[in-house]
Amino acid sequence: MVKQLDETRDYLIQRGFENPEIGIVLGTGLGQLVEDIEDAIVAHYNHIPHFPVSTVEFHKGKLIYGTLYGKKVVVMQGRFHHYEGYDFFEITYPIRAMESLGVKKFFISNAAGAINPDFNKGELMILDDHINLQAGSPLAFKEVSLFGERFVDMYQPYDPDLLEAAFKVAKEHHIKLNKGVYAAVIGPQLETRAEYRYLKIIGADAVGMSTVPEVIVANQLKVPVLAISVLTDECDPDNLQPVSVEEIIATANKAEPQMIKLFKELIKII
Ligand code: HPA
């Protein structure tokens, strides 16, 4: 596994992915940020050695290197989900690959349902904690100690300095930024009313199907993480409205400029 990762890194370095400072993961409906990357070098997931083999949906999946607002970045456009049949090691392989290139910070985004009744669809939520309901860990494999600690401390999974910086930027640019706990489920089905009720009781403010495995691995690698959810639907168990994945994507698209603004201004100041 370590040798595989070396081969992945060597390929990317050969392609010109040199010393990126920030690794960015773009969630569902949040791909526009890549338009702003200068001098972009694109590597399709299917061409990167040892990257998980892409499904049809993932033909678009690519890793993009370049300069974003003055910083060298590597961006994942399209991520791998457990519901697509990938295991947790595969889902988080790109995180390990980006770290092996020298990434010093991760910015992760996702689309999530709002559980907290004070949060509205179209708003952003910064993660300050999470609940892993995916019934698995990206650290549960034999060779894990070759990559770092096995018993990773999750005392503070999201970097407090990045959190503070994000609030500062949000205030300056009049972006409504909620803060909360993200619950990660496997999906791909959305939740039942009873499940939303349960999520609320256990302390979740938002629910989605990604991010947590990536954050666990970033913590194993001791790379600070900032994660933002774009809230795409309101999950009130007592007044639940039908929702389709198309609507979720459309709402994510609509809220995307705010997320881009937040990422952009943060990248400038960190
Ligand atoms: N559950 C409910 N609503 C959502 C989700 C989810 O996992 N992701 C985006 N909106």
Residue closest via CA to ligand 1's atom 7 equals: 208
* Inter-residue contact 199 to 114 (CB < 8 Å): no
- Indicate the average pLDDT of the chain: 94
Any atom of ligand 1 within 6 Å of the Cβ of 207: yes
Asked whether residue 221 carries a pLDDT value surpassing 80, the answer given is yes
Task: Report the nearest atom of ligand 1 relative to the CA of 208.
Answer: 7
Predicted local confidence at residue 105, as pLDDT:
97
Residue ID of nearest Cα to ligand 1 atom 4: 113
Domain that holds residue 226: 2-269
217 lines ligand 1 (CB under 6 A): no
Whether pLDDT at 114 is above 70 = yes
CATH (domain of 212): 3.40.50.1580
What angle do helix axes 88-100 and 212-220 make, rounded to 10 degrees?
Answer: 50
Average pLDDT over residues 246-264: 90
Number of domains in the chain: 1
The whole-number pLDDT of residue 57 equals 59
What does the pLDDT look like over 131-187, one tens digit per residue?
Answer: 999 999 999 999 999 999 999 999 999 999 999 999 999 999 999 999 999 999 999
CA-252 nearest atom, ligand 1: 9
For range 8-13, the mean pLDDT? 97
Q: How far away, in angstroms, is 9 Cα from ligand 1 center? A: 33
Q: 190 CA distance to ligand 1 centroid (A)?
A: 6
Would you call 170 helix, strand, or coil by DSSP? helix
Nearest residue by C-alpha to atom 2 in ligand 1: 113
What pLDDT is recorded for position 266? 94
pTM of the entire predicted model: 0.95
